[in-house]
Copies of this chain bind each other. A is one copy, B any other.
């Protein structure tokens, strides 16, 4: 079954959040998500970063800014997506991960600052990557890796201009076009 995998970034402030949100986008792309939806002020610098990476490194990873998180999440639920909210308060990923692997359409929700109580309620699953405070970028990465059982690590990106050939030392980059 082909998965449909969306990352939902809840909260973005222009300038202040540029780097962390960019990391979220690139991690979502590199680790197998189809697109990211960002709830917050539209930030063209983030859009440009993603477009630039797609152009050079391939694939068709999508990015979209929206304003109304509640409306968006409810619409995704109507389209049969299961909402998985990553939070240190949720059930351990090592316990629920296998179950989630069976789902076909998933939205992985990651917060920035404080997340409204209603997100916990709307979510089909609240899932934790440790019960310690750390980073939504790290939580997303571990979750995506476990959700796809490592398959995402070898994902191919079509239409790339450049590609890395893994090497023991140094950098080996191949120009494809």
Contact = CB atoms under 8 A, between A and B. Distances in A.
Contacts of A128: 164, 166
A175 interface: no
Q: How many identical subunits does the complex contain?
A: 2
Contacts of A31: 130, 134, 138, 142
B129 A153 contact: yes
A164 B23 contact: no
Given A133-B57, A138-B138, A120 B169 contact: yes
Interface string A130-162: 111111011111100110001011110100000
Contact of A132 (B131, B137, B146, B157): B157
Interface stretch (A38-46, A65-73, A75-83, A91-99): A91-99
Given A92-B153, A94-B153, A154-B94, A132 B57 contact: yes
Contacts of A167: 89-91, 126
A93 B153 contact: yes
Interface in A111-135: 117, 120-121, 123, 126, 128-135
A130 B154 CA distance: 7
Contacts of A155: 130
Nearest to A129: B153
A35 interface: no
A139 to B, nearest CB: 8
A86 B120 CA distance: 34
A105 interface: no
A134 B166 contact: no
28 contacts: A23-B138, A26-B132, A26-B134, A30-B138, A31-B130, A31-B134, A31-B138, A57-B132, A57-B133, A89-B166, A89-B171, A89-B172, A90-B167, A91-B166, A92-B153, A94-B150, A126-B167, A130-B153, A131-B163, A131-B165, A132-B157, A135-B137, A137-B138, A138-B138, A138-B141, A139-B141, A141-B141, A142-B142
